[in-house]
Amino acid sequence: MTLLFGIPIQALFGQLLLGLINGAFYAMLSLGLALIFGLLNIINFTHGAQYMMGAFVAWLVLSHAGLGYWAALLLAPLLVGALGILIERTMLSRLYKLDHLYGLLLTFGLALVIEGGFRQLYGISGAPYAVPEELQGGWNLGFMYLPIYRGWVVLASLFLCLGTWLLIEKTKLGSYLRAATENPQLVQAFGVNVPVLVTLTYGFGVALAAIAGVMAAPIYSVNPLMGSNIIIVVFAVVVIGGMGSILGAIVTGFMLGLLEGLTKVFYPEAASTVIFVVMAIVLMIKPQGLFGKGS
């Protein structure tokens, strides 16, 4: 048996793969949070519930309509994103001129209501969701066994994250969004409908959470608590990367997932807390986050 740092190499790479999978979900979810906060100044605590709703849409359309994974990847972001737009138009838009705390309290309350409703309807035992037939099986790489579905999740999340970053940072639409955040009156004067732009941005951030939920369903099963179990860690990732920093959310999400995986190998007792230890250190040294801009 080959050892690396005294650890069997299969066990080491297996944990790194798990860390990379967790990192992919941290990156996708923190990307949505950073996008919403960076461009709309809303601390969206319903993000975990919207991630859970994405998984439930996948499970419901399979159970009741016979539509599989690929259809769910299309339907879930549309349906959950539309619900997000409704929330933004009817509730959040009334709080834009108030302190961030009001938005946080509102979205926190909404998250509790949504999660409570799903617990009432479906219980907390969870439901299995099968890996799509095209992505079943795995590859033997010699030093480890790589399940195809998990490899797909990592690649798809990388594509999604980098595509969103390019859209915001390198396109004219992204420049309108960033300008609308800095000076909405000036952008409106150029004929851009800023309220519609803001609403669509929130809907897009929510859609990202729903896509992550669909991808998570075959790995973690579908459970009303799946959003609340991950959202605190995702907030820590966003704080470490820098509130509102899209690149910071992506890089930090993957890095912390790998760090969590390595901690499980060398000191498992600290695996559930290592991200919060990193957050405390970063806040002491660089309060604006690793990729955040100073005030």
What pLDDT is stored for residue 186 in this prediction?
A: 74
Q: What is the pTM of this model?
A: 0.90
What pLDDT is stored for residue 31 in this prediction?
A: 87
What pLDDT is stored for residue 9 in this prediction?
A: 75
What pLDDT is stored for residue 275 in this prediction?
A: 92
What pLDDT is stored for residue 274 in this prediction?
A: 92
pLDDT along the chain (295 residues), means of 10: 70 83 90 82 90 96 92 95 93 84 91 94 89 89 83 92 88 79 72 82 92 93 89 91 85 91 87 92 91 69
What pLDDT is stored for residue 52 in this prediction?
A: 95
Q: Which two tokens stand for residue 170?
A: 């390198």
What pLDDT is stored for residue 121 in this prediction?
A: 92
What pLDDT is stored for residue 48 in this prediction?
A: 93
What pLDDT is stored for residue 118 in this prediction?
A: 94
What pLDDT is stored for residue 42 in this prediction?
A: 82
What pLDDT is stored for residue 208 in this prediction?
A: 92
What pLDDT is stored for residue 294 in this prediction?
A: 60
